[in-house]
Structure 1
Amino acid sequence: MRKVLMIIIAALSLSGPAVANTAQRDTVEALLIASGADSALDAVYAQFDGMFANMAEQFKIEESERASFNKHMQKVNLMLQEEMNWDTLKEPMIDLYLAHYTEQELQDMLAFYQSETGQSVVKKMPEVMAASMQVTQQLMKDVYPKIMQMSKAYSEELKKQRAAD
Protein backbone atom coordinates (compact mmCIF):
# COMPACT_ATOMS: atom_id res chain seq x y z
CA MET A 1 0.00 0.00 0.00
CA ARG A 2 2.84 2.34 0.87
CA LYS A 3 4.47 1.72 -2.55
CA VAL A 4 1.20 2.47 -4.34
CA LEU A 5 0.79 5.71 -2.37
CA MET A 6 4.38 6.75 -3.19
CA ILE A 7 3.81 6.01 -6.90
CA ILE A 8 0.60 8.08 -6.91
CA ILE A 9 2.31 10.99 -5.16
CA ALA A 10 5.25 10.82 -7.58
CA ALA A 11 2.91 10.69 -10.56
CA LEU A 12 0.93 13.68 -9.31
CA SER A 13 4.05 15.71 -8.68
CA LEU A 14 5.28 14.95 -12.18
CA SER A 15 1.98 15.77 -13.84
CA GLY A 16 1.77 19.22 -12.22
CA PRO A 17 4.61 20.75 -14.26
CA ALA A 18 3.37 18.96 -17.37
CA VAL A 19 -0.07 20.50 -16.97
CA ALA A 20 1.46 23.91 -16.27
CA ASN A 21 3.72 23.48 -19.29
CA THR A 22 0.71 22.55 -21.44
CA ALA A 23 -1.20 25.56 -20.10
CA GLN A 24 1.75 27.84 -20.86
CA ARG A 25 2.07 26.38 -24.34
CA ASP A 26 -1.64 26.96 -24.90
CA THR A 27 -1.24 30.57 -23.71
CA VAL A 28 1.65 31.16 -26.13
CA GLU A 29 -0.24 29.55 -29.00
CA ALA A 30 -3.24 31.78 -28.27
CA LEU A 31 -0.87 34.78 -28.15
CA LEU A 32 0.72 33.89 -31.48
CA ILE A 33 -2.69 33.53 -33.11
CA ALA A 34 -4.04 36.73 -31.52
CA SER A 35 -0.95 38.64 -32.69
CA GLY A 36 -1.36 37.30 -36.22
CA ALA A 37 1.84 35.26 -36.29
CA ASP A 38 0.03 32.37 -37.94
CA SER A 39 -1.34 34.53 -40.75
CA ALA A 40 1.88 36.55 -41.13
CA LEU A 41 3.23 33.70 -43.22
CA ASP A 42 0.66 34.55 -45.90
CA ALA A 43 2.23 38.00 -46.20
CA VAL A 44 5.67 36.43 -46.47
CA TYR A 45 4.53 34.19 -49.31
CA ALA A 46 3.00 37.20 -51.04
CA GLN A 47 6.38 38.95 -50.87
CA PHE A 48 7.97 36.05 -52.72
CA ASP A 49 6.41 37.33 -55.94
CA GLY A 50 8.49 40.49 -55.67
CA MET A 51 11.58 38.49 -54.82
CA PHE A 52 10.99 36.23 -57.82
CA ALA A 53 10.70 39.26 -60.10
CA ASN A 54 14.03 40.53 -58.76
CA MET A 55 15.57 37.12 -59.31
CA ALA A 56 14.35 37.14 -62.90
CA GLU A 57 16.15 40.45 -63.36
CA GLN A 58 19.33 39.20 -61.70
CA PHE A 59 19.34 36.03 -63.81
CA LYS A 60 18.54 38.14 -66.88
CA ILE A 61 15.66 35.84 -67.75
CA GLU A 62 14.71 36.32 -71.36
CA GLU A 63 11.11 36.29 -72.54
CA SER A 64 11.61 32.83 -74.07
CA GLU A 65 12.75 31.56 -70.63
CA ARG A 66 9.96 33.24 -68.66
CA ALA A 67 7.56 30.24 -68.62
CA SER A 68 10.31 27.88 -67.45
CA PHE A 69 11.46 30.36 -64.80
CA ASN A 70 7.90 30.89 -63.53
CA LYS A 71 7.37 27.13 -63.33
CA HIS A 72 10.58 26.77 -61.33
CA MET A 73 9.61 29.61 -58.97
CA GLN A 74 6.19 28.02 -58.43
CA LYS A 75 7.96 24.82 -57.35
CA VAL A 76 10.20 26.82 -55.01
CA ASN A 77 7.17 28.62 -53.56
CA LEU A 78 5.30 25.34 -53.06
CA MET A 79 8.31 23.77 -51.35
CA LEU A 80 8.64 26.78 -49.04
CA GLN A 81 4.96 26.60 -48.14
CA GLU A 82 5.30 22.90 -47.37
CA GLU A 83 8.49 23.24 -45.37
CA MET A 84 7.91 26.62 -43.71
CA ASN A 85 4.26 26.58 -42.73
CA TRP A 86 2.52 27.35 -39.47
CA ASP A 87 2.46 23.69 -38.45
CA THR A 88 6.26 23.45 -38.71
CA LEU A 89 6.94 26.84 -37.12
CA LYS A 90 4.38 26.79 -34.31
CA GLU A 91 6.19 24.55 -31.80
CA PRO A 92 9.62 26.20 -32.21
CA MET A 93 7.96 29.62 -31.87
CA ILE A 94 6.17 28.51 -28.71
CA ASP A 95 9.48 27.25 -27.31
CA LEU A 96 11.10 30.57 -28.19
CA TYR A 97 8.43 32.59 -26.39
CA LEU A 98 8.54 30.29 -23.35
CA ALA A 99 12.31 30.72 -23.15
CA HIS A 100 12.16 34.51 -23.20
CA TYR A 101 8.94 35.60 -21.50
CA THR A 102 7.54 35.05 -18.04
CA GLU A 103 4.03 33.76 -17.52
CA GLN A 104 2.90 37.25 -16.51
CA GLU A 105 4.42 38.80 -19.65
CA LEU A 106 2.71 36.20 -21.81
CA GLN A 107 -0.64 36.86 -20.11
CA ASP A 108 -0.20 40.63 -20.51
CA MET A 109 0.69 40.32 -24.19
CA LEU A 110 -2.23 37.98 -24.79
CA ALA A 111 -4.60 40.45 -23.11
CA PHE A 112 -3.23 43.26 -25.27
CA TYR A 113 -3.50 41.38 -28.55
CA GLN A 114 -7.00 40.22 -27.71
CA SER A 115 -8.03 43.82 -27.02
CA GLU A 116 -9.51 46.16 -29.63
CA THR A 117 -6.25 48.15 -29.72
CA GLY A 118 -4.17 45.00 -30.07
CA GLN A 119 -6.26 43.81 -33.00
CA SER A 120 -5.91 47.23 -34.58
CA VAL A 121 -2.13 46.90 -34.28
CA VAL A 122 -2.26 43.45 -35.89
CA LYS A 123 -4.36 44.72 -38.81
CA LYS A 124 -2.23 47.81 -39.42
CA MET A 125 1.20 46.30 -38.84
CA PRO A 126 1.72 44.95 -42.39
CA GLU A 127 1.18 48.45 -43.81
CA VAL A 128 3.39 50.00 -41.15
CA MET A 129 6.15 47.48 -41.84
CA ALA A 130 5.93 48.00 -45.61
CA ALA A 131 6.12 51.76 -45.17
CA SER A 132 9.04 51.32 -42.76
CA MET A 133 10.87 49.26 -45.36
CA GLN A 134 10.34 51.99 -47.94
CA VAL A 135 11.69 54.63 -45.57
CA THR A 136 14.71 52.46 -44.77
CA GLN A 137 15.38 51.77 -48.45
CA GLN A 138 15.16 55.47 -49.24
CA LEU A 139 17.58 56.32 -46.45
CA MET A 140 19.95 53.58 -47.61
CA LYS A 141 20.06 55.14 -51.09
CA ASP A 142 21.62 58.21 -49.48
CA VAL A 143 23.82 56.28 -47.05
CA TYR A 144 25.08 53.53 -49.37
CA PRO A 145 27.40 55.79 -51.42
CA LYS A 146 28.90 57.10 -48.18
CA ILE A 147 29.50 53.55 -46.97
CA MET A 148 31.16 52.69 -50.27
CA GLN A 149 33.35 55.81 -50.08
CA MET A 150 34.36 54.98 -46.50
CA SER A 151 35.10 51.37 -47.47
CA LYS A 152 37.22 52.48 -50.42
CA ALA A 153 39.20 54.85 -48.18
CA TYR A 154 39.69 52.09 -45.62
CA SER A 155 40.80 49.67 -48.32
CA GLU A 156 43.43 52.15 -49.51
CA GLU A 157 44.55 52.76 -45.93
CA LEU A 158 44.81 49.02 -45.35
CA LYS A 159 46.92 48.60 -48.52
CA LYS A 160 49.32 51.32 -47.32
CA GLN A 161 49.51 49.73 -43.87
CA ARG A 162 50.25 46.29 -45.34
CA ALA A 163 52.89 47.74 -47.67
CA ALA A 164 54.59 49.40 -44.70
CA ASP A 165 54.70 46.14 -42.72
Structure 2
Amino acid sequence: MRKALMIIIATLGLSGPVVADSGQRETVEALLIASGADSTLDAVYAQFDGMFANMAEQLKIEESERASFKKHMQEVNLMLRKEMNWDTLKAPMIDLYMAHYTENELQDMLAFYQSETGQSVVKKMPEVMAASMQITQQLMKDVYPKIMQMSKAYAEDLKKQRVAD
Protein backbone atom coordinates (compact mmCIF):
# COMPACT_ATOMS: atom_id res chain seq x y z
CA MET A 1 0.00 0.00 0.00
CA ARG A 2 2.76 2.39 0.94
CA LYS A 3 4.59 1.58 -2.31
CA ALA A 4 1.42 2.28 -4.34
CA LEU A 5 0.96 5.59 -2.53
CA MET A 6 4.56 6.59 -3.36
CA ILE A 7 4.03 5.73 -7.03
CA ILE A 8 0.83 7.82 -7.14
CA ILE A 9 2.56 10.79 -5.47
CA ALA A 10 5.50 10.51 -7.85
CA THR A 11 3.15 10.27 -10.84
CA LEU A 12 1.17 13.32 -9.69
CA GLY A 13 4.40 15.20 -9.18
CA LEU A 14 5.44 14.44 -12.73
CA SER A 15 2.08 15.13 -14.32
CA GLY A 16 1.77 18.67 -12.94
CA PRO A 17 4.50 20.21 -15.08
CA VAL A 18 3.33 18.26 -18.12
CA VAL A 19 -0.17 19.71 -17.76
CA ALA A 20 1.27 23.20 -17.22
CA ASP A 21 3.57 22.70 -20.20
CA SER A 22 0.60 21.60 -22.30
CA GLY A 23 -1.39 24.66 -21.23
CA GLN A 24 1.53 26.95 -21.98
CA ARG A 25 1.97 25.33 -25.42
CA GLU A 26 -1.69 26.05 -26.14
CA THR A 27 -1.23 29.66 -25.02
CA VAL A 28 1.81 30.08 -27.27
CA GLU A 29 0.04 28.51 -30.23
CA ALA A 30 -2.95 30.84 -29.71
CA LEU A 31 -0.52 33.77 -29.45
CA LEU A 32 1.28 32.82 -32.66
CA ILE A 33 -2.00 32.55 -34.53
CA ALA A 34 -3.38 35.80 -33.06
CA SER A 35 -0.15 37.59 -33.98
CA GLY A 36 -0.32 36.26 -37.53
CA ALA A 37 2.88 34.23 -37.30
CA ASP A 38 1.30 31.49 -39.39
CA SER A 39 0.45 33.91 -42.20
CA THR A 40 3.74 35.82 -41.94
CA LEU A 41 5.31 33.17 -44.12
CA ASP A 42 3.50 34.67 -47.11
CA ALA A 43 5.49 37.87 -46.56
CA VAL A 44 8.67 35.82 -46.28
CA TYR A 45 7.92 34.11 -49.59
CA ALA A 46 7.30 37.53 -51.17
CA GLN A 47 10.70 38.69 -49.89
CA PHE A 48 12.28 35.65 -51.52
CA ASP A 49 10.60 36.66 -54.78
CA GLY A 50 12.26 40.07 -54.47
CA MET A 51 15.60 38.42 -53.75
CA PHE A 52 15.17 36.26 -56.85
CA ALA A 53 14.60 39.38 -58.97
CA ASN A 54 17.78 40.91 -57.55
CA MET A 55 19.60 37.66 -58.22
CA ALA A 56 18.61 37.84 -61.89
CA GLU A 57 20.16 41.31 -62.05
CA GLN A 58 23.32 40.23 -60.24
CA LEU A 59 23.75 37.19 -62.47
CA LYS A 60 23.09 39.36 -65.50
CA ILE A 61 20.52 36.91 -66.79
CA GLU A 62 20.08 37.46 -70.50
CA GLU A 63 16.73 37.44 -72.27
CA SER A 64 17.45 33.99 -73.73
CA GLU A 65 18.12 32.67 -70.18
CA ARG A 66 15.03 34.17 -68.52
CA ALA A 67 12.76 31.14 -69.07
CA SER A 68 15.23 28.68 -67.52
CA PHE A 69 16.01 31.12 -64.68
CA LYS A 70 12.30 31.56 -64.00
CA LYS A 71 11.79 27.78 -63.98
CA HIS A 72 14.71 27.36 -61.57
CA MET A 73 13.36 30.05 -59.23
CA GLN A 74 9.91 28.43 -59.29
CA GLU A 75 11.50 25.13 -58.25
CA VAL A 76 13.40 26.88 -55.45
CA ASN A 77 10.19 28.63 -54.37
CA LEU A 78 8.28 25.32 -54.28
CA MET A 79 11.04 23.72 -52.23
CA LEU A 80 11.01 26.65 -49.78
CA ARG A 81 7.23 26.40 -49.39
CA LYS A 82 7.52 22.67 -48.78
CA GLU A 83 10.45 22.84 -46.36
CA MET A 84 9.60 26.12 -44.59
CA ASN A 85 5.88 26.01 -43.89
CA TRP A 86 3.80 26.62 -40.79
CA ASP A 87 3.52 22.91 -39.97
CA THR A 88 7.33 22.68 -39.96
CA LEU A 89 7.92 25.88 -38.00
CA LYS A 90 5.09 25.72 -35.45
CA ALA A 91 6.64 23.34 -32.88
CA PRO A 92 10.09 25.00 -32.83
CA MET A 93 8.45 28.44 -32.60
CA ILE A 94 6.33 27.31 -29.66
CA ASP A 95 9.45 25.95 -27.95
CA LEU A 96 11.25 29.22 -28.61
CA TYR A 97 8.50 31.33 -27.06
CA MET A 98 8.21 28.98 -24.09
CA ALA A 99 11.94 29.26 -23.48
CA HIS A 100 11.92 33.06 -23.43
CA TYR A 101 8.56 34.17 -22.02
CA THR A 102 6.75 33.48 -18.79
CA GLU A 103 3.13 32.39 -18.75
CA ASN A 104 2.13 35.88 -17.60
CA GLU A 105 4.02 37.51 -20.48
CA LEU A 106 2.45 35.10 -22.95
CA GLN A 107 -1.03 35.86 -21.61
CA ASP A 108 -0.37 39.62 -21.84
CA MET A 109 0.86 39.33 -25.42
CA LEU A 110 -2.09 37.14 -26.34
CA ALA A 111 -4.49 39.71 -24.88
CA PHE A 112 -2.78 42.44 -26.89
CA TYR A 113 -2.86 40.55 -30.19
CA GLN A 114 -6.49 39.62 -29.64
CA SER A 115 -7.33 43.31 -29.11
CA GLU A 116 -8.40 45.73 -31.85
CA THR A 117 -5.02 47.47 -31.72
CA GLY A 118 -3.17 44.15 -31.81
CA GLN A 119 -5.10 43.04 -34.88
CA SER A 120 -4.34 46.40 -36.52
CA VAL A 121 -0.64 45.78 -35.87
CA VAL A 122 -0.94 42.29 -37.39
CA LYS A 123 -2.64 43.62 -40.53
CA LYS A 124 -0.16 46.47 -41.04
CA MET A 125 3.03 44.62 -40.09
CA PRO A 126 3.71 42.97 -43.47
CA GLU A 127 3.66 46.36 -45.20
CA VAL A 128 5.80 47.92 -42.45
CA MET A 129 8.30 45.05 -42.65
CA ALA A 130 8.47 45.21 -46.45
CA ALA A 131 9.10 48.96 -46.31
CA SER A 132 11.74 48.52 -43.62
CA MET A 133 13.47 45.88 -45.75
CA GLN A 134 13.53 48.30 -48.68
CA ILE A 135 15.03 51.00 -46.46
CA THR A 136 17.66 48.57 -45.18
CA GLN A 137 18.50 47.35 -48.69
CA GLN A 138 18.85 50.93 -49.91
CA LEU A 139 21.13 51.80 -47.01
CA MET A 140 23.20 48.68 -47.63
CA LYS A 141 23.73 49.71 -51.26
CA ASP A 142 25.43 52.84 -49.95
CA VAL A 143 27.25 51.11 -47.08
CA TYR A 144 28.44 47.94 -48.86
CA PRO A 145 31.07 49.68 -51.04
CA LYS A 146 32.43 51.38 -47.93
CA ILE A 147 32.65 48.04 -46.13
CA MET A 148 34.45 46.54 -49.11
CA GLN A 149 36.87 49.49 -49.24
CA MET A 150 37.57 49.20 -45.51
CA SER A 151 38.07 45.45 -45.78
CA LYS A 152 40.44 45.85 -48.71
CA ALA A 153 42.49 48.42 -46.77
CA TYR A 154 42.55 46.13 -43.74
CA ALA A 155 43.68 43.18 -45.87
CA GLU A 156 46.53 45.30 -47.28
CA ASP A 157 47.53 46.43 -43.78
CA LEU A 158 47.41 42.86 -42.53
CA LYS A 159 49.55 41.72 -45.44
CA LYS A 160 52.14 44.44 -44.67
CA GLN A 161 52.09 43.52 -40.97
CA ARG A 162 52.69 39.84 -41.76
CA VAL A 163 55.62 40.69 -44.03
CA ALA A 164 57.11 42.90 -41.28
CA ASP A 165 56.78 40.14 -38.68
Alignment TM-score, normalising by the size of structure 1:
0.87
Report % sequence identity. Answer: 87
1:9-88 equivalence runs, <5 A: 9-88=9-88
How far did 1:112 drift?
1.3
Distance 1:19 1:87 in 2: 23
1:92 maps to which residue? 92
Distance 1:158 1:130 in 2: 39
Alpha carbon RMSD of aligned pairs, Å?
A: 2.0
User: 1:104: how far off?
Assistant: 1.4
- Aligned partners of 1:52 and 1:150: how far apart in 2? 28
CA shift, 1:133, in A, is 2.0
Q: Measured at CA, do residues 140 and 91 of structure 1 come closer, stay the same or move farther in structure 2, by a change above 3 Å? A: same
Which amino acid in 1 is paired with 2:128? Answer: V
Paired residue secondary structure (1:69): helix
Name the CA distance, whole Å, in 2 between partners of 1:19 and 1:64: 60
Q: CA deviation at 1:70?
A: 2.2
Which amino acid is 2:51 matched to?
M
Q: Which runs of 5+ in 2 are unaligned?
A: none
Greater mean deviation of Cα atoms: 118-127 or 151-160? 151-160
Residue 33 of structure 1, CA deviation: 0.9
Quickly say closer, same or farther: Cα 1:137–1:56, change in 2 above 3 A.
Answer: closer
Whole-Å Cα distance in 2 between the matches of residues 145 and 65 of structure 1?
A: 29
Q: 10-19 vs 84-93, which deviates more?
A: 10-19
Cα shift at 1:148: 3.1
Q: Alpha carbons of 1:87 and 1:55: their partners in 2 closer, same or farther (altered >3 Å)?
A: same
User: In structure 2, what is the equivalent of residue 115 of structure 1?
Assistant: 115
In structure 1, what is the equivalent of residue 5 of structure 2?
5
Q: Distance in 1 between matches of 2:143 and 2:60?
A: 27
Alignment length, in residue pairs? 165
Change (3 A) 1:52 1:25: same
